[in-house]
Chain A
Amino acid sequence: EAGVTQFPSHSVIEKGQTVTLRCDPISGHDNLYWYRRVMGKEIKFLLHFVKESKQDESGMPNNRFLAERTGGTYSTLKVQPAELEDSGVYFCASSPFFGTGSYNEQFFGPGTRLTVL
């Protein structure tokens, strides 16, 4: 079974440009999460989708970040316009949803390393 995949693996852009990151979760996983790790700091939660609906976006830094999951399959995270402090590794994770009252392991992708110059 294929794991969580992310594209691209690396992205280098200039301040003010736009970048779109993509995440393909494990097939059949309704839960999809975005996280970010800034150099030397903790991995921070950004947002959580259940299918195509945003369940929790309390971790999104500001309105320059837009996440979508049309159709409840893959997800994109767009940063527009990018700032220097957006540099870091962006992780996507997915887990199955077996209904309320259950918790299931989050499987992480390899991440996208974003560098804003």
Chain B
Amino acid sequence: GENVEQHPSTLSVQEGDSAVIKCTYSDSASNYFPWYKQELGKGPQLIIDIRSNVGEKKDQRIAVTLNKTAKHFSLHITETQPEDSAVYFCAALLFSGGGADGLTFGKGTHLIIQP
């Protein structure tokens, strides 16, 4: 089955700096890669996703890059703000024509934005 590794487990950056979280996956057939943000007391919330036919996707201060050859994808947050502090999870999925199945998640990165 799929296995997702995520690094680092904790990341502390100064407000205004950039943050990068990296994930690798094992199943080359996986074709959907979402990133979730979990704030205290809440469930994970999708912030951005990318499909295997795209190398990069950007949404305001957030971007995700995908390297299918290396089986590696990353989340980039620029101009970090205090409200970016949270736990971030990457995930992978082999989405087939039979419908959507369960996501395989990384262990999470606790992002701390220092004022």
Contact = CB atoms under 8 A, between A and B. Distances in A.
B105 A44 contact: yes
Interface string B1-40: 0001010000000000000000000000000101010000
A101 B32 contact: no
Contact of B42 (A55, A101, A104, A110): A110
Contacts of A74: none
Q: What is the interface residue range for chain B against chain A?
A: 20 to 34
Given A91-B43, A91-B44, A106-B46, A42 B105 contact: yes
Nearest to B90: A42
Contacts of A40: 107
Interface string A76-115: 0000000000000001010101001101111111110000
A33 B102 contact: yes
Interface residues of A, number: 32
Contacts of A45: 101-104
A108 B36 contact: yes
29 contacts: A35-B102, A35-B105, A40-B107, A42-B106, A42-B108, A43-B44, A43-B105, A43-B108, A44-B105, A45-B102, A45-B104, A47-B102, A50-B99, A56-B101, A56-B102, A59-B102, A91-B44, A101-B97, A103-B32, A103-B93, A106-B100, A108-B36, A108-B43, A108-B44, A108-B45, A109-B43, A110-B41, A110-B42, A110-B43
Given A101-B97, A106-B103, 11 more contacts: A41-B107, A42-B89, A42-B104, A42-B105, A42-B107, A45-B103, A47-B102, A48-B101, A91-B43, A103-B32, A105-B34
